[in-house]
Amino acid sequence: MAAEPTAKNKAWALFDRIVDDAAPGGEHSNPWTMGEDGELRYVPDYDTLARLLGVPLHLGAASRTGVPALALDVWLSYELRRSGFDADATWPRATSPRILPAPVANLLKALPGKERRAIGERLAAASSVSGVTSSSASILGKNYFKQVDVIMTDWATGPELLISTKRMDSSYGKNAANRVEESYGDAKNLRLRHPLAALGFVFALRADILHKEPDTADWLIDLLQKLGREDDAYHATCLVMIDYDDTVAPAAVEADEEPENPLVAAGLTEDPDADGTPVDAEAAEITRALSALPRVTIRHDAIPAPLTPARFLAEMVARVLDAAPVNLHKEVRRRRRTAPPIG
């Protein structure tokens, strides 16, 4: 008997369609624009972000399922592809398997059609193949393995970009301190082993914190900015302020904001929810689900300038390019060089 699909299986089917709609045939729009002052700017696709954020609300997926935070991971990886990075280089990938090492991806491309399809289908059908593919990535820091949400790495270059994401939709006072403490420790752990990798942190908050717990909101936002100014922590930090109606909020669950299990990252135990395979659903069923997504808006007015997604993405990409020779990431450099003027 087939196992009951998890919340992540269901979410991946919707995430994949949203990303496909945003980049038909894998063709991504150019996010780079040139301002009147001659300054290069990054323009994120907030419409796609809002659709992705609506998926966990539609599914009623609580934070402990990992789906709400996964929506951020999918969007960030999509944005990195928009900026010009190779589709197989940014993880999670737009298709299963979500983690596919570059040598394996290159081998698949080099195989004759029949063999390529057969092996590709086998890899896509399994949530992971030990030592080859995975649905999540763990990176060794100075002292311990850390599960990283959005990543670019290769055996030839080592980690080039590492982004951790956190999301908090409730219980702000109860969980805020834990999230910040974890972030400080994780940043130093990764930075000390991978000083050249672009290291970033994205924190998503539900906008009701602004009136429910304004002091906590001020404290969190202040710490988030400081977290991006430490010499041995993150190169950049980002705040995504999410607004949606109470009627579509998932039911509150005790201990809904449990931190990730470090034993999973260390490979000492399996993650029962780590499956990047989308549920097998009819196209019409997915279309109906997407048409019923709850409305989500991004409160840009509540995000300080140093924490905007636009600044964060521009900084992450610039860090990767600055640490790499000019013969790497040519498409990113071309897109930046040919950025059209604003308007």
**pLDDT higher than 90, residue 155:** no
pLDDT at 99: 81
Q: In 214-284, which ranges are E strands?
A: 236-243
| DSSP bridge pairs for 202 | 165, 238
Is the pTM of the predicted complex or chain greater than 0.75?
yes
Together in a domain, 104 and 250: no
**Looking at residues 307-328, what average pLDDT do you find?**
97
Q: Is residue 343 part of a domain?
A: no
Q: Is residue 342 part of a domain?
A: no
Residue 240 · residue 202 · CB < 8 Å: yes
Q: Is residue 95 part of a domain?
A: no
Banded model confidence at residue 38, pLDDT cuts 50, 70, 90? confident
Q: Is residue 39 part of a domain?
A: yes
pLDDT at 101: 78
Task: Tell me how far apart the 2 most distant CA atoms of the chain are, in Å.
Answer: 62
SS3 244: coil
**Looking at residues 221-243, what average pLDDT do you find?**
91
Together in a domain, 105 and 212: no
Residue 116 · residue 108 · CB < 8 Å: yes
What is the Cα–Cα distance from 9 to 273, expressed in whole angstroms? 9
**pLDDT higher than 60, residue 331:** yes
SS3 34: strand
Residues 66-121 have pLDDT tens digits of 899 999 999 999 999 999 999 888 999 888 888 887 778 777 778 887 777 777 77
pLDDT at 185: 85
Together in a domain, 72 and 174: yes
| DSSP bridge pairs for 199 | 162
pLDDT at 215: 93
Together in a domain, 225 and 261: yes
pLDDT at 177: 72
Residue 30 · residue 339 · CB < 8 Å: yes
What single-letter DSSP state applies at residue 341? Answer: B
Q: Which two tokens stand for residue 208?
A: 């009701």
pLDDT at 256: 47
Q: Is residue 166 part of a domain?
A: yes
| DSSP bridge pairs for 140 | 145
Look at the block and give the residue holding tokens 């737009």: 94
Together in a domain, 180 and 107: no
**pLDDT higher than 80, residue 269:** no
Q: Is residue 189 part of a domain?
A: yes
Q: Is residue 15 part of a domain?
A: yes
**pLDDT higher than 60, residue 255:** no
What is the Cα–Cα distance from 275 to 67, expressed in whole angstroms? 11
User: How many domains, the chain?
Assistant: 2
**Looking at residues 259-279, what average pLDDT do you find?**
58
Q: Which two tokens stand for residue 327?
A: 């013969």
pLDDT at 260: 59
Residue 67 · residue 55 · CB < 8 Å: yes
Distance of CA 315 to the CA centre of its chain: 16
Together in a domain, 109 and 243: no
SS3 62: coil
Mean residue pLDDT across the chain: 86
What is the Cα–Cα distance from 103 to 247, expressed in whole angstroms? 47
Domain boundary among 113, 133, 153: 133
pLDDT at 1: 39
Together in a domain, 159 and 145: yes
Together in a domain, 122 and 166: no
The DSSP string of 119-170 is: HHHHHHHSS--TTT-BSSEEEE-SSSEEEESEEE--TTT---EEEEEEEESS
pLDDT at 279: 66
**pLDDT higher than 70, residue 241:** yes
Together in a domain, 129 and 165: no
**pLDDT higher than 90, residue 304:** yes
Together in a domain, 21 and 112: no
**pLDDT higher than 90, residue 252:** no
Residue 183 · residue 239 · CB < 8 Å: no
Banded model confidence at residue 154, pLDDT cuts 50, 70, 90? confident
Tally of CB atoms within 10 A around 267: 9
Q: Is residue 238 part of a domain?
A: yes
Domain that holds residue 206: 7-90+137-337
Residues 114-140 have pLDDT tens digits of 777 777 777 666 655 665 655 567 888
Residue 77 · residue 88 · CB < 8 Å: no
**Looking at residues 282-303, what average pLDDT do you find?**
92
Together in a domain, 125 and 259: no
Together in a domain, 142 and 128: no
Banded model confidence at residue 263, pLDDT cuts 50, 70, 90? low
